[in-house]
Amino acid sequence: MSSRRSLAAGSLCAAMVAVLAGCGSTPASGPNGHSTSAATSGAHAAKTAASSPTSTPKQKGRLVIYAAEGYDQAMATAFHKATGIAVKLDDMSTGPLVAKIQAEKNNPQWDVAWFDGDGTMETLNQAGLLLRHWQPANSAHYTSLGKRLQPSDGSYIPTGVTAAGAIAYNTKLVPANEVPKHWSDLLKPFFKNAVGMDNPAISGPTYPVVAGMLNLRGMAGGEKYFSQLKANGLRVFPTNKPTLQALTTGQIKVAIAQDSAEIQAMQQGAPIKIVYPTGGVTMLPGVLGIAKNAPDMAAAKAFANFVLSAQGQKVMLAKGGGDSNFNPIIQGQKPNPVRQQTGIKWNVAPVLWQAAHYSKIQTWFKDTIAG
Per-residue HEC secondary structure of 177-195 comes to HHCCCCHHHHHCHHHCCCE
Q: Is residue 334 part of a domain?
A: no
> Is 213:221 a contact under the CB 8 Å cutoff?
no
**In this structure, which amino acid lies at residue 279?**
G
Residue 64: inside a domain: yes
Shared-domain flag, residues 354 and 308: no
How far is it, in rounded angstroms, from Cα 11 to Cα 41? 32
CATH number at residue 276: 3.40.190.10
Statement to judge: residues 276 and 299 lie in one domain = no
- Cross-strand partners of 112: 65, 290
Confidence (pLDDT) at 46: 36
Give the model's pLDDT for residue 60. Answer: 53
pLDDT per residue over 237-276, tens digit each? 999 999 999 999 999 999 999 999 999 999 999 999 999 9
Percent of the chain surpassing pLDDT 70: 84
Contact 112, 104 (CB under 8 A): no
Structural domain containing residue 76? 4-162+285-324
**34 and 72 assigned to the same domain:** yes
CA neighbor of 3 nearest in space, from 57, 60, 74, 103: 74
Mean pLDDT, the chain, rounded, equals 86
Which residues fall within 8 angstroms of residue 7, CB to CB, at 6 or more apart? 48, 49, 50, 76, 77, 80, 85, 86, 87, 88, 89
Same domain, residue pair 193 and 315 = no
Taking only the tens place, the pLDDT of each residue in 56-110 is 444 457 899 999 999 999 999 999 999 999 999 999 999 999 999 999 999 999 9
How confident is residue 342, by pLDDT bands cut at 50, 70 and 90? confident
C-alpha–C-alpha distance, residues 149 and 129, integer Å: 20
Domain-located, residue 93: yes
Encode pLDDT of 98-154 as tens digits: 999 999 999 999 999 999 999 999 999 999 999 999 999 999 999 999 999 999 999
- 157 & 171 share domain: no
Stretch among 23-37, 165-179, 249-263 having the lowest mean pLDDT: 23-37
Q: Are residues 227 and 268 in the same domain?
A: yes
30-59 in b/e burial notation, b at 16+ Cβ within 10 A? bebebbbbbbbbeeeebeebbeeeeeeebe
For residues 313 and 360, state if they share a domain. Answer: no
Count of domains in the chain?
2
Residue 194 has pLDDT above 60, yes or no: yes
Helix, strand, coil distribution of the chain in percent, nearest 5: 40, 20, 40
Q: Are residues 89 and 145 in the same domain?
A: yes
Please indicate, yes or no, if residue 330 is contained in any of the structural domains.
Answer: no
Within 10 angstroms of residue 270's Cβ, the number of other Cβ atoms is: 18
Distance between CA 152 and CA 136 in Å, rounded?
A: 14
Residue 239 lies in a domain: yes
- Alpha helices in the chain, H assignment, sequence order: 14-20, 72-83, 94-103, 118-126, 144-149, 206-217, 219-231, 240-248, 259-267, 297-307, 310-318, 351-356, 358-364
In contact, 274 and 340? CB cutoff 8 Å: yes
Assigned domain for 338 exists: no
Q: Is residue 227 part of a domain?
A: yes
- Within a domain: residue 66? yes
Closest CA to 145 of 125, 130, 162, 164: 162
